[in-house]
Amino acid sequence: MPSPARSDAGGDGAGILIGEVHTGLLLNSASLRQDMLPAVLGLLPGERVRSFERPISHAVSPELLVGVDCDLSTASGTRVRGIGTLAVRAAITGGRVLQGSAWTRLMGGHAEHRLPWSHYLARPGVVETVGRRRNHPYHADLADGFLDRTNNRKAPGIDFGAICGQIMGEVQRSPYLDRRSPFKAARTTLRWVAEESPERRIGFILGDDGSRTTRITFDGQPISAVIELCEDLALHDWLLSTLLDVIDRGMPSDGPHETMMRRIRPAVDHLIHLWMPGARVVESLLPLWESLDTKPGFTRQWDTLVNRIRDQLALRTLTLLSASAEGVPGRNEQGIRS
Amino acid sequence: MLVIATSDKGGTGRSVTSCNVAYRRALQGSDVCYLDFDFGSPTSGAIFSIDPVSRGTEGGGLHSYLQGKIAEPQRIDVWRQTDRETLRSRPPGAGRLVLLPGDQGGGEFSMTKDILQRCTKLFVRLLEEFDLCVVDLSAGRSYAAELVLAATAQQELRGVPHRWLVFHRWTRQHVIAASGLVYGRRGLIEAGAERGHDSQVLADSIRFVRTAVVNPDSEELAGLRPTQVVWLLDCNKDLQELARQHQLGRTMVLATIPLDPVLQMREQLISDRDVWASQIANAATVAAFDQLARRIADDAAWDEL
Ligand SMILES: Nc1ncnc2c1ncn2[C@@H]1O[C@H](COP(=O)(O)OP(=O)(O)OP(=O)(O)O)[C@@H](O)[C@H]1O
Ligand SMILES: [Mg+2]
């Protein structure tokens, strides 16, 4: 991954944006201090790590470019070759959550054959199709092909997974991390497509197989704003599913108190304060987040979970208190305060 | 944590025991993955009853990954994919159980810098998502064993606990062979030191597991003649002494797995149902797997030397 990318190049409104965001837990015992972020995310010498302390600690690596030349996935199965570059970056939120995010703009190229690389390098973050140029329904074919993971007759397309996996791996193997995370969490993958349209809209689908896809239409915002929206969505979806998993596992109603505490404690300590939907989304795209918050109801689900945890903890504390009041020695009380 | 399963001889019960332990640990609530590093004969798919990969996968397994042919090795969710209906669907409170199969017709390979780097990357990747990664090696001194020894000595994996389980049957030959694998020339400790491990730390992270052990006191042997029982008890005592002399005495043993009639007939996971409903397997076997699954992660069991 040699050269820096600039994601707002182009911006002529043509083509569609496609990308993936992978989200997982940073491999470190403590949440990473703000001053360590540049070292951990400094994947390109000389390029700056952007970091923000408010409203929540967040840092983004420089964007790297990756060259691709492969058949794109199409819903119809039509062969379409794409050549160009993807942009990819890593981000850390709250010193805890690591994301690998890659995207490109798919555009109809004019060439019948592959052009010299200088042509593609002059268009960072753009993949051009080779062959006759067609328009709108053609975009739909590419968008549907990209989002549909069940159709295995189609070309596998651009391997965003490998590219995100690689950049996350580089961060996770950083000499500045101790690789002793307080708990384990599954990674999630959000695949997204965005197109310009006079009407702003968003849709989010969580498949039975755990796949996440989202479609966005936007009007005139810079690409970077769309990417940030997708990353914010992926982050909160991951927080929600990780907390759900912790609770599923940690709250058998009759389990011993210590076991429950061991399982739930990390979530309480490390995840709950990270919930801040829309914190980094530009004003004009906020209504999209809000519409997700009414329909799948992300925040409602989150609040329900958090309340369940609080109730459980309170209940356990009461049980322990009454047990000790009756002179029965309480079980392990450690971990209730906080 | 990484747990590496090895043995000197073949057919010791290494794979069957490690699969069952992975399964038990997942039932106990941990997220577990099982890596089939027995590249010559990847049989773990059969033990988990996942038919399409019963002799390794054709869809890009660990062997292809290490050789750089694919970006990530195939993962199989055991709860979803096992053919055994009683095991399908994750029980409440249980963790994830994921198999990373070997490749069909994989074969051994020698270690290169690239392969070492990919192996290290994979371990880091899995440690992000799993509490326990069980790595099943092949029998004897293999390239895979060298590879894992080298990977666990890399800077990226310092500080991540890795523990070695050496499986052997409870016979004279097996006791001597297991001791040789650990303490002998080109054994684990020597090879590990050469790869940059501290010999003492490495030695402290090795324990033995005795498999398919006949308990002379068990009720199944009630039908034996008294002379036979006396003979068995004598043999057992001799073996204990031999084991002590070869540095695999009691304190070095993490578990003793009893001989089980089901496992004698078939390589498989033993579910609680096999014990309580159909009563084909012994409760003592499951109890031993369950205890081993707990002790693997229990620091106290590893400190007591
Ligand atoms: N506790 C046990 N009781 C009875 N039989 C057992 C027990 N454990 C394992 N076996 C049987 O021993 C045989 C060898 O087991 P397994 O394949 O696990 O050994 P292995 O050490 O992995 O062998 P290999 O070196 O070929 O990989 C199998 O038939 C298995 O079912
Ligand atoms: Mg085996």
The model's pLDDT over A272-321, given as tens digits with 9 standing for 90+, comes to 899 999 988 999 999 998 888 887 788 888 998 888 888 877 777 666 66
Same domain, A153 and A269: no
pTM metric for this prediction: 0.90
Query: Residue A334 domain-assigned?
Result: no
The label of the residue with tokens 């849709």 reads A203
Distance CA B89, CA B257 (A): 27
Name the residue facing B129 among A175, A187, A259 (closest C-beta). Answer: A187
Mutate to test the pocket of ligand 1, among B9, B16, B24, B265 (most ligand atoms within 8 A of CB): B16
Distance CA A94, CA B40 (A): 45
Final residue in a domain of this structure, among A222, A251, A273:
A222
Atom of ligand 1 nearest to the CA of B266: 31
Average pLDDT over residues A203-213: 88
pLDDT tens for B238-267 read 999 999 999 999 999 999 999 999 999 999
Query: Residue A310 domain-assigned?
Result: yes
Query: Residue A65 domain-assigned?
Result: yes
Same domain, A206 and A295: no
Same domain, A122 and A59: yes
> Do B129 and A186 count as a contact with CB atoms less than 8 A apart?
yes
Same domain, A34 and A81: yes
Final residue in a domain of this structure, among A222, A254, A283:
A222
For chain A, what is the domain count? 2
Final residue in a domain of this structure, among A222, A248, A269:
A222
Same domain, A107 and A187: yes
Structure tokens at B59: 């869809």
Q: Could you tell me which residue, B286 or A249, shows the higher pLDDT?
A: B286
Predicted confidence (pLDDT) at residue A4 exceeds the cutoff of 60: no
Closest CA–CA distance from residue A280 to any residue of chain B (Å): 26
pLDDT tens for B153-211 read 999 998 899 999 999 999 999 999 999 999 999 999 999 999 999 999 999 999 999 99
Query: Residue A228 domain-assigned?
Result: no
Please report the pLDDT score of residue A112 as a whole number: 84
Closest CA–CA distance from residue B175 to any residue of chain A (Å): 35
Mutate to test the pocket of ligand 1, among B170, B174, B264, B266 (most ligand atoms within 8 A of CB): B264
Same domain, A157 and A271: no
Closest CA–CA distance from residue B139 to any residue of chain A (Å): 30
Q: DSSP letter string over B66-133?
A: HTTSSSS---EEHHHH-S-GGG-SPPTT---EEEE--BTT-------HHHHHHHHHHHHHHHHH-SEE
* Ranges of each domain in chain B: 2-297
Same domain, A84 and A182: yes
Query: Residue A229 domain-assigned?
Result: no
Predicted confidence (pLDDT) at residue B147 exceeds the cutoff of 80: yes
Same domain, A136 and A282: no
Same domain, A180 and A67: yes
Please report the pLDDT score of residue A153 as a whole number: 67
Q: Domain B2-297: what homologous superfamily?
A: P-loop containing nucleotide triphosphate hydrolases (3.40.50.300)
SS3 state at A131 = coil
Q: Quick count: other Cβ atoms within 10 Å of Cβ B242?
A: 16
Same domain, A185 and A253: no
pLDDT tens for B43-95 read 999 999 999 999 999 989 999 999 999 999 999 999 999 999 989 988 888 99
> Can you give the residue range of the structural domain that contains A244?
240-324
Please report the pLDDT score of residue A328 as a whole number: 45
Cβ of B275 closer than 6 Å to ligand 1, yes or no, is: no
